[in-house]
Amino acid sequence: MEILGVDIGGSGIKGSPVNIETGELLAERYRIATPQPATPQAVADALKELVQHFKWKGKIGAGFPAVVRGGVVETAANIDPSWIGTPVCKLFTKVTGCDTHVVNDADSAGVAEIHFGAGRGVKGVVIMITVGTGLGTAVFIDGKLVPNTEFGHLFYKGMIAEHYTSDAVRKDEDLDWDQWGKRFNKYLKHLAMLTWPDLIIVGGGASKKFERFSDQIKVNTRVVPAQLLNEAGLIGAAMFAAEDL
């Protein structure tokens, strides 16, 4: 089955048709700069442009950087506050004319990694952490997702964890990889102490630089980089839409 997979981020909206049985992209990824301000209507219009680019008529699955429960956006940590309470699935379906399913971006990336990447066949508790502007998390138990976990918002050292060790923080505070890796390690230890996962998968931009900070990671749990890199979000979103989750 083919679904248009989309990854909605703070700077870009990327999409491609996905073969959800194999996880393969069926066309070159197309990227549109996220409109600023990224209000619901502006993002919906950008999504429509993506749909027109692919002349798409089928289902769409989109990963979105917030909690999405029952088709409604519930949080807005790194997005325009006007999203809160927006029935995002309905809005996107109306504007694009295509049946659109929207899920949390870390959950969608995690689903792709569990099926086709670093979490394939792993039993027990797996936590995927996406390191980007924010810290997104996806928790799996024997391959089944517990949706919308927000462990990037754990309190650590008196602040929200994603304000301590996201990729945005690394850039803003000009931390080198050792300095950032030490912080990330402390966060992982805290998270692992609370959740005791069998495997932690590190995704997002940081997964590409894993070897630059892996020396600093001393958690009593296996920690591995994601394998699907930039594509996990849109592949997983397409899989969600296919299963009507």
* Residue 2 C-beta: closest distance to ligand BGC, Å: 26
Residue from the set 15, 40, 75, 202 that interacts with ligand BGC by CB under 6 A? 75
113 scored as a contact of ligand BGC (CB under 6 A)? no
- What is the spatial distance between Cα 241 and Cα 245, in angstroms, rounded to a whole number? 7
Total of chain residues touching ligand BGC, rule CB under 6 A: 16
* Residue 148 C-beta: closest distance to ligand BGC, Å: 7
* Residue 125 C-beta: closest distance to ligand BGC, Å: 19
- What is the spatial distance between Cα 238 and Cα 4, in angstroms, rounded to a whole number? 6
- What is the spatial distance between Cα 231 and Cα 211, in angstroms, rounded to a whole number? 20
Return the ∠ at Cα 136 (arms to 107 and 84), rounded to 5°: 85
Return the ∠ at Cα 59 (arms to 205 and 8), rounded to 5°: 25
152 scored as a contact of ligand BGC (CB under 6 A)? yes
* Residue 165 C-beta: closest distance to ligand BGC, Å: 13
Nearest residue to ligand BGC on Cβ basis: 134
Helices (H), the chain: 40-53, 88-96, 105-116, 162-165, 167-172, 177-195, 210-213, 232-243
Residue from the set 78, 93, 96, 149 that interacts with ligand BGC by CB under 6 A? 78
Residues that bind ligand BGC (CB under 6 A): 65-67, 75, 77-78, 104-106, 130, 132, 134, 136, 150, 152, 162
